[in-house]
Structures are given as C-alpha cells and as structure tokens.
Structure 1
Amino acid sequence: MAQTFPDHFLWGGATAANQLEGAYLEDGKGWSTADTALYMGKDARKTMSLGDKMTKDRVLQAMEDQSGHYPKRHGIDFYHRYEEDIALMAEMGFKTFRLSISWPRIFPNGDDVQPNEAGLAFYDRVFDTCLKYGIEPLVTISHYEFPLQLALKKNGWLSRDTIDYFVHYAETLFERYKDKVKYWLTFNEINIIGMTGYLSGGILADGIEHMLEAQYQAGHHQFVASALVVQKCHEIIPNAQIGCMLARMEAYPETCNPKDVLASVNADEMNFFYTDVQIRGEYPSYMQKFFAEHAIEIKFEPQDKDILKQGTVDFLSFSYYMSMVVGESQQEETNGNLFGSKVNPYLQASDWGWQIDPIGLRTTMKKMYQRYNVPLFIVENGLGAEDVVTDDQKIHDFYRIDYLRSHIEQIALAIEEGVEIMGYTPWGCIDLVSASTSEMSKRYGFIYVDLDDDGEGTLERLRKDSFYWYQKVIATNGADLS
C-alpha cells in the first residue's frame, strides 16, 4: 500500500481502567460500580450484562460478597505491572496509548473535597512511563465505572449535583496532568447509557418508574458536564484537544423498501443524537417527536443551552466493531451484536456473533465527516476471539490480523477520499477483562495475558503473532499490511 497515512498519525491501542488495573481498594481507592460486576460466564455471552438493572440491595450484597468471582476487581494487575506493559507497547511502536482514569481512585467517594494523592501519583507514574517512550497518553475521563458511593447517595447521573462533582474531578486531572496529557475524552460510548445506566451512570433501579426517561435525563446531565469540562480543559491546557466518544454501528436497510430505508435513517438519528449535541451544541429537532412519543420530559436549567453551545468538542472519537441491519421483516436477529440486528447474509461473524464489516467502517467515517466536518479518531476496533497457546508458547492469531488488516485498508481509502482521521487505537491491545461478561477468554490483545475465566494463571505476558504484525504496520506508517 502506498503512503497514505499522515506522518503525525497516532497508531496505538485502547484499554479501560476497570478492565485491567485491578488493585480495586488499594492505596485509598474507593468502590466503583465495575467492582460489583460478577463473572457472567460463557452462557451469558448472548445476553449482555451491561444492561442489567441494579438495585441498592444487590449493590450492598456484592460489596459484602467475598466468595464470588468479580474479575474487574483484579483485572490483569496493570496497577503493579504497568511498566512492563507499556514497555511492550513501546516495542510495538505505539504513538499513543488510550487508557482511562478511575474516578474513585482519585476521589474515593466521588464527592470528596480533596483528591487521593496516591491515586494521582499512580497516574503520574503511568504517564511518565508513556512519555519516556514517546507515547502520547489519550485519556478517557469516564469509562464504564462510577464512584459507588455517589450511586448510593445520589443515584448517579440522575442527580444534577453529579455535574459539579464530575467537573471538580476533571479539573483536578487537568491541573495535575496539564504538562503530560494533551488528548482527552469525556465519556466513553455516551450513547449507550441505556445499556450502561448503572455501570457508567450509577443509576439504581429503586423507585424509578420511567427508566427510559431517567436514562435520557442522566444523559442530559452528562452533556452539560461534558460541555463544562471541555471549557475547563481549554482554559487550563490551551494546547490540548478534547473529544466525545460514540459507540458507532452503521445501520443498513434490510431491503430497498422505503420503510426499511426510513428505519435505517431513524437508527442513524438515534445514534447521532449524542454527537449532534456534543459537536453542534444543541438538541436536534428530530428528538422532539421521540420524546413526545415516549412521554419523556427532560429537565433543562436556564443556562443549559448556552453551556452546550459553548462547550462543543474538538474531535469525534468512536468505537466500531460491526454493522447492523434494520427493517420490517420478522427475520431472526443475530445473537451477539451489541445492539439487536437482523442477519446480514453478505457478512461473516465472529465467534461472539458480531458481524464483521470493514467496508461499513469506511462508510461510517465518510458519513460522520460529511455530517460534522471535525477530525475523527477511531479509538476502538478489534476482534474478540479465543486464542490458543501452543506448546512452544506461541499464539498464531491470523484471524485477528485479517480483521485488523481489512479495517485498516478501509481507513486508508477513507483518508484518500478526504476524511481527516487523527489515529487508530484497536481495542484491548493487551488482553483484559470483558466489559460485558467479565470473561478473559474473549481476547482482543496483541499481548496475551496468562489468566483464565476463573482468575487462575501466572499473569505472564506473551507476544502474539499480531504483535509483530502491528509492529510492522506502525513502523511503515500503514504502508505494509502484509
């Protein structure tokens, strides 16, 4: 492939604190919602635990449970092994490393006045290690975990008070790391709060009669918080860039039936609602009908419209794993897609039922860039699979290489077509705990971690075949994908 990617293109990989750090109550860290996530097991792969509704009683039971298996409490022990892991990323040639900061590691209860110095110092060490190797940290401020005490006291993002706590948290990060971090994201996959209402939103189901309205109200509070944080970032770190983050699935009409085509347009609108607010700075008119049809009334404060308009993001980052099909037929849906989707007969699927569609990535990049005209950043993309370690300690993950190659080829074509793309950070660059089912067997990484679903293993790190392949891709700036 001829030289296509710009010289400043940010190649790297992506992770989340709650899925790899471990040390869940170490050095003053408080409880997070992710710390209550039980291992779901292989039987739960098709049901997706992210959408589970939690109650106060269930939370308290999980906190008291010392015999259950809660993999996110231990992760892959990145907290103690970050130097080794970042050194491996540097060996691959990473230009950037996407990671998140655990809010309760900085403010154990979420609403503390003073931060936990041990937590701040940990991320100082992580960022210093990255910068030693010339790796730019790309930091997500909130990624699928929330201070548990704020969930119990305030019902999370349902309370407007949470906006102030979040702004205080983010401002603390900006002041502390202003000389170390220049790429930031506010909320991970903000558009699926309907699935992660407890995990990322701290919303408990107790006493909520209209859960859909509650989720959109919590989302509104996150919009306002994001806008305020964007303004704080620009004030404190003038040379920084701060973006939003969307879970993106391209939605195809099942047929050329106009009703199916309209269904795909409607699916796009529900997906783009979140980026419309964060990039354009206002609620789109098409949501008025949706809110009316579902008896949803969002409580706005008088200043909210100005806040949203003044706090628009600098770039749009997104995850992309699959596309989906929508239409009026009664065709059976796929089992594994993150959102319900009809089977696309033109696509193959992963072992988890996720339909693999690299051309869909190019389609969605072109569509988003034309809609918003802001830089794009692909901050999650990858293939979850069950890797096998051979007797000589090798992992021949040709299927992952094939997946990534086909997607990178489409990114290159989109760049040639004029789409501005900042970088590419495949998900789970090192094996980590699954967000949905807390499995280890669903592996995404270039680096294998010796840990099984039961939490047994040496935690030894091994380089997969994809490690060396991605090393070559980065070294040639995407010119050699063989």
Structure 2
Amino acid sequence: MKSTFLWGVATAANQCEGAWQEGGKGISTADILYDGTAGEYPENLKIYPERYYTYHTGNDFYHRYKEDIALMKEMGIKCFRMSIAWTRIYPKGIEDKPNEEGLAFYDRVFDELKKQGIQPLVTISHYEMPLYLVQAYGGWKHRCVIDHYVKYAKTVLDRFHEKVKYWITFNEMNFISTIPFCAGGLLIRGKDNKEQDMFQGAHHQLLAHALVTAYSHGSYPDLKIGCMVCGTLAYAQTPNPQDALEQLECDRETYYYTDVFVRGRYPNYADSFLKKKQVVLHKQEGDDEILAEGKVDFLAFSYYFTRIAPINPNNDPDLTDNERMLGKLENPYLQRTQWGWVIDPVGFRLALNKFYDRYQVPLFVTENGLGARDVLCEDKRIHDDYRIDYLRQHIRELKKAVEIDGVDVMGYTSWSGIDLVSATSAQITKRYGHVYVDYDDQGNGTGNRFKKDSFAWYKRVIETNGEQL
C-alpha cells in the first residue's frame, strides 16, 4: 500500500452526536426514526414522548468528541470520516442565515482533529435532512430542496475549506431507491408508483451534487470532492445467459448513479431503464449542462455485502426496504451476519475492480464493517475476534485489488470506529466499532468507552500499512 494511504474510521452525525435539541439544532428526519429503516416510515412525522429514540443520544459524540478523537489518535488512524448535521447549520433548512453555534461546534471538532494529526473526510448529507423540508415539500421529490441544500453546502465549504480537504456531497445516494425516507425524506407508503418519487428525488440530488461540486472546483480548487454509493453489486443466479442479463440489470441500479458522478451524464441505458420502471423523469432546460459540470475527483463507496440477481424475482410490488437492500435470493456459498447480511470478502475485490475498470478515477472505501452483538465482560474487555476475522479477510482482498490488480484506492475507513446507532435498525446494540460504548437501546448505561480486541488489531494494521493482518 502506498505511504499516503488514508487508513481510518467512519461515523455519521445523526448516528453518533446525540444532543438533538442542543446548540440550536433543528429536528431532522433521523430524529423521528424509532426503529431505523426497519420500520420503513415514521408515523405522522412526529416524535412520541413515551418512546426512547436512540438517535437522540447517539454515542454522545457531541459532548465527548475530544475523548473519542484521542482514542482515534491512540489507534493511529490517519483519516476520520464524519458528517455535518444539516439541522445544526440550518435548523429548518429555509433560514437565510446559518446557526453560528452549529458552525462553531464543527470548528472545534476540526481543530481537535488537526491537533491530533488526523485528516477529516466530511460528508455534507448523510441520512438526515431538516424535517421541515419533508413536511413542507415532501423531501427531495421537490425541486426547491436543491436550492436549500446548495445554500447549506456552500456555507460549510466557505467556512471549513481551510480545515477540510476531502468532501463527499451525499452518503450512499443510490439508496434513495432502497431506503427512500432515510436517504431522501420521501414518503411513498401507499403510492402506486413508488419509483417515480424515488428517481425524481435522485435526479434532484444529482443536480444538487453537481452544483456543489462545480462550486467547490471553482472556488476552492485544492479541495477534493466526491460522491458515494453503497457498492451492492450482484452475481448471476446461474450460468444461464438470461441470468447474466439480470445481473447486468442489477448492477446498472448502481451504475445509474456512479456514471453521473464520474462522467457527468446519465448512462446510455437510462431512458429504457426508467421506462421499464414506469418513471417519467421531469427535467428542466439546462439540467444536462449542470450534471456535466459536476464530475467528481474520486468515487466513494461503502461495501458490506453482495446480492443475487434478480433482487425481486417475483416482482412483488410491496417489497420492503430491507428486501430491496439485501435481495430475496440466497447465495449458498456465503455465510451471513447476525442481521442477515452476506459476508463476501472476494466480492469486495470484485467491486473495487468493477468500479475502477469502468471509471479509472481514484476510489475511496468509506464504509466496511461488521455489526454484531458484542459482550462487555466483567473485566471490561470485549473479545470481538469475529470482527477481526471479518476485517482481516476484507482488507486482504483490498490489498490484492491494489497490489495485484492495480486499482487506485485513496483510503479505507472502517465502519464505525466507535459504537453508534445503526441506520438500518436504530440499535446501538448492533455494534460496529473498535471501541465499545456503554449504552443499550433504551439509553441505559454510563456511555463510557472500552477498547475492544479489534482496537489493538486495527492499530497494528495501520502501523504496518496493512502488512500485518
């Protein structure tokens, strides 16, 4: 691995910060999710006082960021992927002036990272947006949200461009058609053609991404800006050529987005792709020119699992969010996690090669990790050898992609460094970190941090630049 490789960990503001009513923060879409995307849609877009919402506490990063950054420094990480909460900067999304208290909080976080010699990688929008924009406009399906996002993004770029070099405009944008409320503030329950709103919302996000990317390139040419998908590529079910076409169709669900990120235009199959879904994309004059100006400096992606095509073999119109994400067909050659996610390290190498062969731009692996029910022993130790095994296998395949296949990878940030709330289940007990956080799903516990066995293991991986796995 090259000496400049950015080993790190990844988090998201809505999943770790907590302090949901502090510092002038507004209510976000994440704040009303009681059970994550597992419940698909919150009821009545409101908060029920009798319920406990894990997002409201997170892992308390808002108050403990110095402690957490010190742990990252001890682990030896070079890069910390984090996000800025839109609702800390513009509480409702429509304000003329930003919330200075929110901006000042991130100033302090970036200053602490600099003090510890850690490079931030910042996601501008990561599975949260002002709830007001959903209540007033229906989320990203309305074109006016573009302007509100661009105003927010320009604000943080203008404020932090001297402190943050690496930026991502959207987290896992392709999941707006998988977990539409979480990723786009879309309310599609009961609608006949759910995909119409999904892909219209995606078009608006792509325009917003392109406008912000062009602004960054023009105003701050030294910055590097990318966009991100969840790298859920697929296998054919059998050697039948028809199944190979199904695989192609499945992969195109991801390439539909990444082609625009990198090439600045929709793919050649876009018209037939949308027609098959009965989607009529409403575009305005000049949209194509906007997209052409928004080409990324790098392509970011998360990697957790692969799927078998087709994702929806029986054309079930009521496919759940989870089924859209994981697919319905089993792969008999692979094991699954406690939450049913396929474990496929070789698929990671394949994904790296597919993306790089297609685009020839630097890649950044911004999430990869194992959610598990960790046990805090009486001696305050956590023996997560299963996580070490998972990460070892995946990093080994990453090294093969780089050293054998010649894939250009900028960095790797494991999910999640420190335990946080899972976006798919709203559980903090679905633990991903190298550091255990003493909270349960009802908010009980001290919030104290305890290093897992994987902490020392990952520290050694970083110290040896991936040589000792």
Deviation at 1:84, TM superposition (A): 0.1
Indicate whether 1:318 and 2:288 are aligned.
Answer: no
Name the residue aligned to 1:18: 14
1:180 alignment counterpart: 163
Contact (CA 8 Å) 1:110, 1:149: kept in 2 or not? yes
For the residues of structure 1 that align with 2:191 and 2:105, how far apart are their CA atoms? 38
**Alignment partner, residue 225 of structure 1:** 208
Q: What is the distance in 1 between the residues matched to 2:243 and 2:185? A: 36
Q: Does 1:396 align with 2:383?
A: yes
C-alpha change, 1:393 and 1:313, in structure 2 (3 Å) is: same
Letter aligned with residue 400 of structure 1: R
- Structure 2 match to 1:457: 445
Q: Aligned to 1:357, which of 341, 344, 350? A: 344
User: Superposition pairs for residues 332-343 of structure 1, below 5 Å?
Assistant: 338-343=325-330
Whether 1:152 and 2:152 are equivalent positions in the alignment is no
Matches within 5 A, 1:288-307: 288-307=271-290
Q: What's the offset of the Cα at 1:288? A: 1.2
1:295 Cα shift? 2.3
Matched, 1:425 2:408: no
Asked if structure 1 preserves the Cα contact closer than 8 Å seen for 2:326 and 2:341, the reply is no
Q: 1:106 aligns with which of 77, 81, 89?
A: 89
- CA distance in structure 2 between the partners assigned to 1:80 and 1:271 by the alignment: 37
CA deviation after TM superposition for structure 1 residue 429, in Å:
1.1
Is the Cα–Cα contact under 8 Å of residues 34 and 144 in structure 1 kept in the other structure? yes
The code of the aligned residue for 1:474 comes to I
Q: Does 1:467 align with 2:463?
A: no
**SS of match in other structure, 2:415:** coil
Residue 233 of structure 1 deviates from its aligned partner by 1.2
Aligned-pair distance for 1:237?
2.0
Total equivalences in the alignment: 462
Partner in structure 2 of residue 45 of structure 1? none
**TM-score normalised by structure 2 residue count:** 0.95
Contact 1:431 1:446 (C-alpha < 8 Å) held by counterparts: yes
- Alpha-carbon distance in structure 1 between the residues aligned to 2:183 and 2:150: 16
Structure 2 counterpart of 1:373: 360
Change (3 A) 1:193 1:337: closer
Q: CA deviation at 1:339?
A: 2.1
1:243-322 matched pairs, under 5 angstroms: 243-322=226-305
| Distance in 2 separating the partners of 1:199 and 1:402 | 30
Give the structure 2 partner of residue 44 of structure 1.
none
1:49 to 38, 45, 54: 38
Shift in CA distance, 297/329, structure 1 to aligned 2, threshold 3 Å? closer
Which of 157, 182, 190 pairs up with 1:199? 182
**What is the aligned partner in structure 2 of residue 43 from structure 1?**
none
Name 1:167's counterpart in structure 2.
150
CA distance in 2, matches of 1:341, 1:316: 28
Structure 1 residues 154, 446: closer, same or farther in 2, change over 3 A?
same
Q: Which of 142, 161, 183 is the equivalent residue of 2:125?
A: 142
For residue 391 of structure 2, what is the amino acid of its counterpart? L
Show the counterpart of 1:214: 197
Q: 1:283 to 1:329 in 2, by over 3 A?
A: closer
The two structures have a TM-score, normalised by structure 1, of: 0.93
Letter in 1 for 2:15: Q
Find the residue that maps to 1:28 and give its secondary structure. Answer: coil
User: d(CA) in 1 for partners of 2:413 and 2:324?
Assistant: 21
User: Residue 336 and residue 475 in structure 1: after superposition, are their counterparts in 2 closer, same or farther (change >3 A)?
Assistant: farther
Aligned partner of 1:477 among 461, 465, 468: 465
AA aligned opposite 2:38: S
Judge conservation of contact 1:23–1:74 (CA < 8 Å) in 2.
yes
Q: Provide the rounded CA distance (Å) in 1 between the counterparts of 2:148 and 2:173.
A: 18
Q: Alpha-carbon deviation of 1:290?
A: 2.4
Q: Secondary structure at the match of 1:244?
A: strand
- 2:23 maps to 27
AA partner of residue 166 (structure 2): Y
Using the TM superposition, give the Cα deviation of residue 99 of structure 1 relative to its aligned residue in structure 2, in angstroms.
0.5
Q: Which blocks of at least 5 consecutive residues in structure 2 are unaligned?
A: none
Q: Is the 8 A contact 1:33 1:202 kept in 2?
A: yes
Question: Would you say the 8 A contact 1:28–1:116 is kept in 2?
Answer: yes
